[in-house]
Structure 1
Amino acid sequence: MVRLTRAQQQARTRAAVLAAAVEEFTEHGFADAKVDRIAARAELTRGAVYSNFPSKRSLYLAVLLDSVQRDEPAAAGAFEAAGAADGAEAFARVWLERLPLAGDAPDASKLKSRSLTGVFADEPGRTAMAQLASLEALLLALALESCAGPGTGRRVRAAELIMTLLHGAGHLAETAPGFGDPFEVARACRSLADLEADDAWDPPHLPYVAAPRLCDDTWTPPGELTDAITDRPAGFGEDGIVVVLGTGRLRAAEEGVRAPHRGEAVTVALVTDDPAEIGALVRLRIADLAVCLRRAFGPAAGPPMRLVLDERALLAAAVGAGTAEDTEVAVRVRDGKVVARAEGRGAAYAAATASAPAERPSGANGR
C-alpha cells in the first residue's frame, strides 16, 4: 500500500472538497448550499472541510477560481486583435462565452457564469468589488491603448462602458435567460472602443499630494513573484516605481501608470489582511480578467505595468507597507536603492514624479 505524504493527502482532501462543492453549488446555489452536505458528498467531516476552507464563501470562490484555471488551457487560441475595436470585440466574445443558455438550471447557470450576486453583501466586500471593477476597467483600457498605438489617448471611460455592458449582459443571462444576442453585445463593445469622449486623466487631488520623502535605502525585493496579467515572472531588477495598494485603494493604480517617466518599470502589488475571502475574490476577478485579456489581445495583453497579487505580503514587507484595506504606499527604485517613499492618498503619483537626490537642486522641497 502506497503511503501518501502529508502534502499529497492535503491535496487529495482539497480536491475532494472542491468536487463535492461543485455538485452542491450546482444543485442549490450559493445561498442554499450547506457545508454539512458538502462534507457528506466528499465523505469527510465538517472539520476537514473547514481545515481547507474557513467559510462557505471562501469555498465558493475557490470553486470559481478552479473553473477559471481549468478553462484556460482548453480555451481557443488568442484572437490577436489588430486594433482597439478588434480588441474590444474579441475581449467581449471571450467574456460572453461563460454566459448560460436558455434552459440551463438557474443555480448551475450562476456557477457557469461565475456569478457573485449575493456573495458579498457586507461593506468590505462591496468596497473591494467596486475597487476591483475600476482596476479591471483600467487593465482593459491599457490593452486597448496598446492596440490602438501611441498617441491615441486614454481609453478608461470606454473600458468602463464595455465592462458595464458585459456585466449587464451577465445579469440578464441570470434573471432573463435567452434575452439578447451575445454577438450583438460584442459588436456594441466594438463600437464603444473608439468612443470619442472627454477622457483626460486629471484627478483633482493631484495638486495637493504631499511630496515624497527622499532617501537612500537598501532595496531587497522578493523573488519568485508572478505578473498576474501575463503569467510570467515579475522581476524587480530595473529602476522604476513599486506601488502597494490595499483593496480599498485599487483605483490609485492608474496614478502609478500615468505619471512615471517614459520607459520606467511600474509594479503594482495588491495586498489584503483577509486572504481567505477578500484575497480569494481578488485572485478570482484578476485571474478571470487576465484569461480574457490574453486570449483577446495576445502579447499585447501585457499593460505598461506589472500586477502582482502579493498574497504573502512579501513585496509589501520589502516596501515597508502594511496590508490594511486603505494601504497606499509607493517607492521609487534607482540603481538598487530606494530613493523616494510616499504614503497615503496620492502616494503612487508622489513617488512616480519624484527625482533622485542627485538630480535635485539644493533646498528643493520634494516636488
Structure 2
Amino acid sequence: MVRLTRAQQQERTRGAVLAAAREEFGERGYADAKVDRIAERAELTRGAVYSNFPSKRALYLAVLVDSIERSEVPEAPSPTGLAEATGAFARSWLDRLPLTGDTPADGSLRLLSLAGVFDDEPGRTALAQVTRLEALLLALALESLGSAGSPGSPGSPESRLPRHPRCVRLAELVLTLLNGAGHLADTAPGFADPFDVARACEHLAGLDLADTWDPPHLPFVAPAQPVQDLWEPPAELPDQITGHRVGFDADGVIAVLGAGRLEAAEEAVRAARPGDRITVAVVTSDPAEIGRLVRLRVGDLTGCLRRVFAPDTRPGLRLVLDDHATIASAIGLPDTGDATEAAVRVQAGKIVARAGGRGAAHAVATAGR
C-alpha cells in the first residue's frame, strides 16, 4: 500500500472537492448550491471542504479558475489592424456563450458568470477595478500592433510597452459590449447573435473616441523619495499574462497595488522610460475570494489574448499575484490590503526610488527624469 504524503493527501482532497463542487454548481447554480451536498458528493465531511475553501463563494471561484487553467490555449498569429484584432478578440471571448442543450446552471458556469456572487461593497469595488485592469491589458495588446522595431530586444517585455494612440476607451467599449452579451445569454438565452456582436466590435475600432491620457491628480503627486536600499529579490512567481514564472532581479519598476487600486497600473505603464521593465504585484486582504476573483478575470482575459495576439504583441508589463505578500515585504511594506498603492525602482541591485499612496507608481516611474 502506497502511503500518501500530507501534501499529496491535501491535493487529492482539494481535487475531490472541486469535482464535486463543479457537479453541484452545474446542476443547481451558485445560489441554490449547498456546501453540505458538495461534501456528500465528495464523500468528505463539511469540515474537510471548509479546510480547503473558507466559503461557498471561494469554492465557486476556485471552480471557475480551475476551468480556465485547464483549457488549452492555441497560439495564433497577430492580426494586423484594430478592426481585425477587436473582431478576433470578440470571437474568442464569445466562445463561452452557452450551447444548445446547456442547463441554466451549467450555462452560467460556461459563461464564468458572477451574477449574484459579489453583492458586497469590497467585492463590487474589486470587480470594477479588475475590469479596468482587463481594459488596460486589452488596450496594450491593441496599441502594440505594428510596433515592431520599437526600443528593446525583439520579443522582450520592454519592446512591447505601449505606443500611441491610446486604446483604453476602445477596449472598455469592447468589454462593455461583450459582457452585456454574456449577461443576456445568462438571463435571456438566444437573444443576441454572437456573429453580430463580433462584427459590432470590429466597427467600434473605427470610432474616434478622442482617447487621451491626462489624469487630473498626477500634477499633484509628490516626487518619489531617492534612496539607496539593498534589494533582495523574492522568489519567482507566475506571470499571469504569459503563464511563465518570472524573477525580480532585473532593473525596473515594481508597483504593489491592492485589489481596490488596480487602475493605477496604467500610471506606471504610461510613465515608463524606454527599456523599463514594469511589474505589477497585486495584493489583497482576502486571497481566497478577492484574490481568486482577480486570478479568474485576468486569467480569462489573457487566455483570450493568447488566442488572438502573437507573443511579441501582447502586453509588455508583468502581472503577478502576491497572495503571500512576498514582494510587498521585499520592498518594505509591513501591511497590505485592498487600498495598497506603493512602488519602487530597482537599479543595479538596489532600490533607488520609492513612493507610497496615490500616484506612487507614476512617481517612481518618472523618478530621476
Are residues 1:313 and 2:325 paired? yes
Separation of aligned partners in 2, 1:79 and 1:189: 19
* Unaligned stretches of 5+ residues in structure 1: 356-366
Q: Corresponding residue for 1:23? A: 23
Partner of 2:205: 193
Partner of 2:251: 239
| In 1, Cα distance between equivalents of 2:232 and 2:3 | 41
Q: 1:175-194, CA deviations, whole angstroms, 9 ceiling, x for partnerless residues? A: 11111211111121122234
- SS of 1:254's equivalent in the other structure is helix
The 2-side partners of 1:110 and 1:5 are apart by 36
Q: Which residue pairs with 2:81 in the alignment?
A: 83
Matched residues in 2 for 1:220 and 1:194: separation? 47
Residue 59 in structure 1 maps to residue 72 in structure 2: no
**Residues 1:338 and 2:351 are matched in the alignment:** yes
Give the C-alpha shift of residue 85 in structure 1. 2.2
Please say if 1:93 is aligned against 2:88.
Answer: no
1:11 paired with 2:11, answer: yes
Please tell me whether residue 105 in structure 1 is matched to residue 103 in structure 2.
yes
Question: Alignment length, in residue pairs?
Answer: 354
Question: 1:303 pairs with 294, 315, 318, which one?
Answer: 315
The alpha-carbon deviation at position 304 of structure 1 amounts to 2.4
CA distance in 2, matches of 1:203, 1:280: 29
- Deviation, structure 1 residue 103: 4.2
Matched residue SS, 1:340: strand
Tell me which of 161, 164, 187 is aligned to 2:176: 164
AA matched with 2:7 = A
- Aligned residue runs from structure 1 range 255-266, under 5 A: 255-266=267-278
Instruction: Give identity over the alignment, percent.
Output: 64
Instruction: Give distance in 2, aligned partners of 1:224 and 1:265.
Output: 15
TM-score, normalising length: structure 1:
0.93
8 Å contact from structure 2 (residues 236, 248) kept in 1: no
- Render the CA deviation track for 1:19-58: whole Å, top value 9, x for unaligned: 1111110111111100000011111110111111111001
Q: 1:291 deviation in Å?
A: 0.7
Equivalent residue for 2:340?
A: 327
Partners in 2 of 1:79 and 1:105 — Cα distance? Answer: 35
Matches within 5 A, 1:263-282: 263-282=275-294
Alignment partner, residue 221 of structure 2: 209
* 1:354 equivalent in alignment to 2:352: no
Q: Is the 8 A contact 1:219 1:338 kept in 2?
A: yes
* 2:301 counterpart (273, 286, 289): 289
Gaps of 5+ in 2: 151-162
Query: Which residue of 2 is the match for residue 359 of structure 1?
Result: none
Give, as a single letter, the amino acid of the residue that structure 1 aligns with 2:14. R
> Considering only aligned residues, what root-mean-square deviation do their CA atoms show, in Å?
1.5
Q: Which residue of 2 aligns with 1:120?
A: 118
| Inter-partner Cα distance in structure 1 for 2:173 and 2:312 | 21
Kindly state the Cα deviation for residue 214 of structure 1 after the two structures are TM-superposed. 1.0
Partners of 1:299 and 1:256 in 2: how far apart? 21
Report the Cα offset of residue 69 of structure 1: 1.0
CA shift for structure 1 position 79 = 5.0
Distance in 1, matches of 2:115 and 2:271, equals 36
The secondary structure found in structure 2 opposite 1:170 is helix
Q: How far is the alpha carbon of 1:148 from its aligned partner?
A: 4.5
| 1:291-322 per-position Cα deviation (integer Å, ceiling 9, x unaligned) | 11111112145312111111121111111233
Q: Structure 1 residue 233: deviation in Å?
A: 2.7
Q: Which amino acid aligns with 1:328?
A: E
**2:78–2:313 Cα contact (<8 Å) kept:** no
Distance 1:30 1:199 in 2: 38
Deviation at 1:70, TM superposition (A): 1.3
Aligned pairs for 1:142-157 (under 5 A) are 142-149=140-147, 151-157=163-169
8 Å CA contact 2:125–2:260 kept in 1: the answer is yes
Secondary structure of the equivalent of 2:257? strand
C-alpha distance in structure 2 between counterparts of 1:229 and 1:140, whole Å: 11
TM-score calculated relative to the size of structure 2: 0.93
Q: Give CA deviations for 1:332-354 in whole Å, capped at 9, x if unaligned.
A: 11222111111000001111111
Q: Is the 8 A contact 1:103 1:177 kept in 2?
A: no
Distance 1:174 1:347, change over 3 A: same
Classify the secondary structure of the residue corresponding to 1:147: coil
From the superposition, tell whether residues 347 and 16 of structure 1 become closer, same or farther in structure 2 (CA, over 3 Å).
same
